[in-house]
Every structure is written in C-alpha cells, then in structure tokens.
Amino acid sequence: MKSKQESSSLLRIAISDCAQGLFGVGLFSAVTNLLALTGSLYMLQVYDRVLPSQSVPTLVGLTIGMLGLYAAYGLLDFVRLRLLVRIASRLYRNLHQRAFAISVLLPLKAGREADRLNPLRDLDHLRGFLSGSGPTVIFDAPWIPFYLLVIYLLHPSLGALATIGALAVVALTAVAEIFGRGPARLTSEAMISQRALAESGRRNAEVVHAMGLSSRLAGRWSDIVHSYLAHQERLSDIIGGTGSLSKALRMALQSSVLGLGAYLVIGGEASPGVIIASSILLGRALAPVDAAIANWKGFLATRHSYFQLKAMLDSFEDPVEPLELPRPQTRLTVERLTVAPPGTPKPTVLDVSFQLSSGAGMAIVGPSGSGKTTLVRALVGAWKPLNGKVRLDGAPLDQWAPHSLGAHIGYLPQDVELFDGTVADNISRFGGKSDPKGVLAAARAAGVYSMIMHLPEGFQTRIGEGGRALSAGQRQLIGLARALYGEPFLVVLDEPNSNLDVEGDAALAGAILAVRQRGGIVIVVAHRPSALTNIDQVLVLANGMVRSFGSREEVLSSMTRPPVPATHRPIIPTQRGVSGHA
C-alpha cells in the first residue's frame, strides 16, 4: 500500500500534470495583457499627434495598427479559453475514475455522513471553474501593478491616485472573502441537505404516497429551504454590497483620474492624451478585481469543492494491486470478528468465530437487531471489521484485489439493488456478452430462466434503475442469479426468500444444494424455516454474540426445547440475603 503522504498528493499530481497547459495559459495571458495597452496607446497618439497635426494618413495608419492588435488580442484570448477547457477536461479524466471509486466506497466508510459528500460533484465543480472565466482572473490579477506602473510613468500623481484606488478596491475584495466565508459554508450545507431529502423522497415515493407523508416531508423541506434562502440572501448581500461599493468606487476613481488629468493638462504638466489613456489603463487594471467580485460565489464554491475533494483523496488510499491468489476451494475461517457500522464506534457484532469447510451450508438466525446483517456484510468484505479476520483458504479478505475477490463471492443483500441495464447485464455483473453460457447457467441455477423468457425481450429486457420494471420477487430471483454467476466459492444470502412464493422457495433450496454439491459454501440469513432447507449448520446470534453454533438438528432442538418449570429453577440469593427466583 502507498503511504498516506504519497496518496495525499494525488490531486496535486493531477494538477501538476496540467502544468504545461497552465504555463501556456499564463503565456497567452501575458501577451493579451500587453495587447490590452492598445486602446490607451491609440488614444494617446490620437490626442497628442493626430489632432495637433490634422494628419489623416497618420490616423488611418494608427487605426489599421489598432485593429490588427485587437484582432490578435481576440484570437489569443479565444485560444486561452480553449486551452482552459482542455486543461479542465484533462484534470477530470485524471481523477474521475478515482472519484467514482471513492463515491462508491463512501457509504462503506463514512456511513450516514456519506450522503453529505460527493467527490464527483466536487470534481465537476473544479472542471467547471477551470473551463470558465475564473482562471483568467487569477492570471490577469498579477498584471495590476504593471498597469499602475504605466499610469505612474504617464504622471506620478496619476499613478499615486490610481494605486490608492486600486488598494481600496482590493481591500473590498478581502472584506468579501472574510465575511462571505461563513455564509458560503452554511449555504453549501443547506443545499446538500436539500438534495439529500429530495433524493430520499424520490427513492421512497411509494411509502410517501401510501402513508400520507407528503405534507410532513414538505414541512421539513420548507424548513431546509428557509435556512438555505436565509444563508443565500446573506451571502448575496455581502457579495452584492461589496460589488456595488466597488463599482461606485471604480467609477468615482476613473472620474477622479480624468479630473486630475485635466488639472495637470491645464498646469502644463501633461498632454491631453494622458487624460484618456490613464482612464483606460485604470479601468483595465481594475478589471480583474471587478471580475473576481462578480464571480465570488463561484470562487467560494470551487474552493470548498477543492478542499473537500482533497480531504477525500487523502482519506482513501490509492489501492495497489496485490498478488493474484489462487481460487479458494477448502474453507472459510472467521476469527474473533468484531464489526461496527461505518461511521459509528459502537460494535454490533462482538468476537464471532467459526469455520466452515467446502460443501457446508450454514444459516444465521436470531432476533431482529442481533447483528445478522452486520455479520454477513463483514463476511463478504463490504464492511471492514474493527477487530478479527475473515479468511478464505487462510488468506484475509484484504489481501485480495476487489475485482478478484468479487469473482469468488456471491452476495444477495437484504434490499436487492439492480442496475439500469438488461437482465443479462445484471446477472453477468456487467461483464458484457462474453459469457452467455455463464449467464444461462446462473439463471437456471436460480430457477429464474423460465420467468426471464416470459419477459418482453427475455434476457435483453431493460429493467430500469433499481429494477423498477420487475416485481419484488423477480428482483430477488435475478439478484440470486447474479450471486450465483461464475460459481463463486462463498455464497452469502441475506433473507433470500423474503419476497418468494412456494416455487421461489423451491428454486432457492435447489440453488443452495447445487452450491454445496459443487464444493462451495453457502451462508443464509433466515427468518422463515423454508430457507433452512438443505442447510446442515446453524449459528444463533443474540446481541451481536454467538449463542450457539453446531449442526442444524442440535441447535434447532435446543431452541425449541421447552423451558424449565419455575419450581425447578435454581434459587439465587439476592444482595439483601433474601432468596428469590432467577
């Protein structure tokens, strides 16, 4: 594995990869800023040479030169913007796969906090900022002193006035940054809460409608919106107020420069062209500041996205491909496993140990909240344990490459989630059309082949996001086929018969038997007795701990054994020394 210091530089490396392009943008910015002097020099020559000499050829020559320079300016500015778009695309291509991988892993690492984090959205914000006019402000800002120097060369008094005014405008920008930082953060958090609630309502639309939750959710939505609007209004007031004050100051400053220039001309200390040239130069000098204030919301959002993305890249180490291990064939070993849901310190599974050999079938039973689902999520590697190990043929799960481990594990979660695509895509785990025999074998093993053939387009039927085109039972059977695809060594089924009818139960029992007969291991979380068919071992969980583990007959008989009568129960002394029943 890479060290954290190496992994934390991923964003920096991606930006460094764009360094040549950024250098080109800087070079084009330098040339365009020099060409921006065209207007000032043109007006200076017109007032100081053309008007006194009344020379039309001189005016025509100056005008042609001015038009040529402005054409070059427009071309270079266009090339600069095109280059920024390419740089943004390159940065996105460098990071999008890693950002997507992190977004998939976030729910397994951050728990509930994952809803508030979105590396893909943050990366898209960076791409949008780089491909817009924001970077041009950054590249143009260092040229402010250059324009002030040119004004100073026209006349020191004009340069001093322009410098004081520019410092005042820059100070206003700093004020906007200081006072806008807090409202910007709160606005972003409120926006994330809005999106989370809207997405939750969309996912649970049936429950919302059936149970009349629309008005209550609308009330919660309204509270979040009021908070969002309040923070947004405050941020807009700060930025808008700063922008208006900056605009008024800039206009007053330009007029003051004209007035001072006129005074200097009257006193014979400057030529008439200096008046117009200095005003144009001052406007050009303050243009980056005006643009920064106008786009300050975008700057704040981009900065927030940058640091969030950097923090997530720092937190998730760049995976290193481990040594390819042989296919597991003999045993599953669980050693003192302690597991907590992601983002919570309190474990819900404590010190669980057991071992299963090839061909074994085990059921995990226990009351609701006993830790069954937590345990199976750790068994398939979805949740990392706080302590202990899960081993396949002696190798811990973290020593397998994720794609390699996935080929040896079949998992049917409690809430079956299918993806937008065809039935064949979902069964083959989006492995393409390279293995039609494997897809057909998995469908037959799950007893779902006949049902699929009755769909409108058979295996090529598109099922929509989440499999919404299918019934709950159909989704569960296709999820079972996906778990069986490729004949994985370890098959873990979390309440696989919760939506199945009698025929589905029979298909499930046949699938469990087939896995055991080919030498695989099956683990089933069960509440209904029908799921225990073809199971030979049972593990009983209570409060996250193993209460009993053994053969199916022994464990079930101990669970169904009648309780000992109260008169035969042992008598235990109380702390006061008075006898009482246990």
Predicted confidence (pLDDT) per residue in 25-49, tens digit: 889 999 998 998 898 888 888 888 8
- Domain annotation covers residue 554: yes
336 and 304 assigned to the same domain: no
User: Is pLDDT of 330 > 50?
Assistant: yes
445 and 548 assigned to the same domain: yes
Q: 574: pLDDT confidence band, cut at 50, 70 and 90?
A: very low
- Domain annotation covers residue 424: yes
Please tell me the predicted confidence (pLDDT) of residue 115.
62
User: Residue 378 in contact with residue 386, Cβ under 8 Å?
Assistant: no
Give the whole-angstrom CA distance, residue 303 versus residue 319: 27
263 and 403 assigned to the same domain: no
Please tell me the predicted confidence (pLDDT) of residue 319.
61
Radius of gyration from C-alpha coordinates of the chain: 35
307 and 371 assigned to the same domain: no
277 and 376 assigned to the same domain: no
52 and 159 assigned to the same domain: yes
Average pLDDT over residues 255-277: 86
- Domain annotation covers residue 575: no
Range of the domain at 253: 10-315
Q: Where would I find the H helices in 316-435?
A: 372-379, 402-407, 423-427
User: Residue 158 in contact with residue 152, Cβ under 8 Å?
Assistant: yes
Q: What is the CATH number of the domain that holds 84?
A: 1.20.1560.10
Give the whole-angstrom CA distance, residue 196 versus residue 495: 28
User: Is pLDDT of 154 > 70?
Assistant: yes
Q: pTM score, two decimals?
A: 0.68
335 and 232 assigned to the same domain: no
Q: Which residues contact 304 (CB under 8 A, 6 or more apart)?
A: 184, 185, 188
347 and 256 assigned to the same domain: no
pLDDT higher for 560 or 30?
30
Q: 353: pLDDT confidence band, cut at 50, 70 and 90?
A: very high
Helices (H) and strands (E) in the chain, counts: 22, 12
User: Residue 327 in contact with residue 408, Cβ under 8 Å?
Assistant: yes
Q: Residue 243's closest CA among 310, 299, 317, 324?
A: 299
User: Is pLDDT of 71 > 90?
Assistant: yes
Question: What's the structural domain count of the chain?
Answer: 2
User: 89-109: per-residue pLDDT in tens?
Assistant: 988 888 888 888 888 777 777
Arithmetic mean of pLDDT over the chain: 82
User: Residue 134 in contact with residue 118, Cβ under 8 Å?
Assistant: no
Q: Residue 533's closest CA among 516, 510, 555, 514?
A: 510
Q: Which residues contact 544 (CB under 8 A, 6 or more apart)?
A: 347, 348, 349, 350, 352, 370, 371, 374
- Torsion, Cα of 400, 109, 491, 552 (10° steps): 120
pLDDT higher for 502 or 82?
82
Q: Which of 18-22, 163-167, 290-294, 381-385 has the lowest mean pLDDT?
A: 290-294
Average pLDDT over residues 543-548: 89
- Domain annotation covers residue 565: no
Q: What is the CATH number of the domain that holds 458?
A: 3.40.50.300
Average pLDDT over residues 166-183: 81
Q: 361: pLDDT confidence band, cut at 50, 70 and 90?
A: very high
Please tell me the predicted confidence (pLDDT) of residue 582.
29
- Domain annotation covers residue 5: no
Please tell me the predicted confidence (pLDDT) of residue 579.
33
Q: 528: pLDDT confidence band, cut at 50, 70 and 90?
A: low
User: Is pLDDT of 555 > 70?
Assistant: yes
Q: 65: pLDDT confidence band, cut at 50, 70 and 90?
A: very high
310 and 339 assigned to the same domain: no
User: 458-482: per-residue pLDDT in tens?
Assistant: 888 888 776 777 888 888 889 999 9
Give the whole-angstrom CA distance, residue 72 versus residue 243: 31
Tokens representing 39 are: 């207007």
Q: How far is CA 245 from the centre of its chain?
A: 38
- Domain annotation covers residue 4: no
pLDDT higher for 190 or 4?
190
Q: Compute the residue count for the chain.
A: 582
401 and 432 assigned to the same domain: yes
397 and 438 assigned to the same domain: yes
Q: Residue 374's closest CA among 243, 224, 167, 541?
A: 541
- Domain annotation covers residue 570: no
Q: Which of 68-77, 181-190, 565-574 has the lowest mean pLDDT?
A: 565-574
190 and 339 assigned to the same domain: no
- Domain annotation covers residue 109: yes
